[in-house]
Amino acid sequence: MTGTDDAPGPDVPATELGYAAARRELEAIVAELDGDAVDVDHLATRVRRAAELIAACRSRIAEATLEVTQVVAGLDEVGGPSAEP
């Protein structure tokens, strides 16, 4: 990962990251692991962090899916929000 202010480091719990930040960090880890110079001493740590990030992303997706489903269901209910102005 780069040291930019908009990219939290691995000491930030994955559950506290937004989806986009978690995905960026995960992509950086994948690129690092795909590289020729993988540091074997840190391999397990990076894979563990990747697993945490994947779980956090899946959780965010599940939450968003549930919220969208609830909103759409509310549109279908009698007396729900109307599409008319």
What are the tens digits of pLDDT across the range 40-73?
Answer: 888 999 999 999 999 999 999 999 999 999 999 8
Mean pLDDT, rounded, of the chain: 84
Chain mean position to CA 8: 13
- Please give the pLDDT value at position 50: 96
Q: Residue 56: is it exposed, middle or buried by C-beta count within 10 angstroms (0-12/13-18/19+)?
A: buried
Domain segments of the chain as ranges? 14-76
- Please give the pLDDT value at position 5: 41
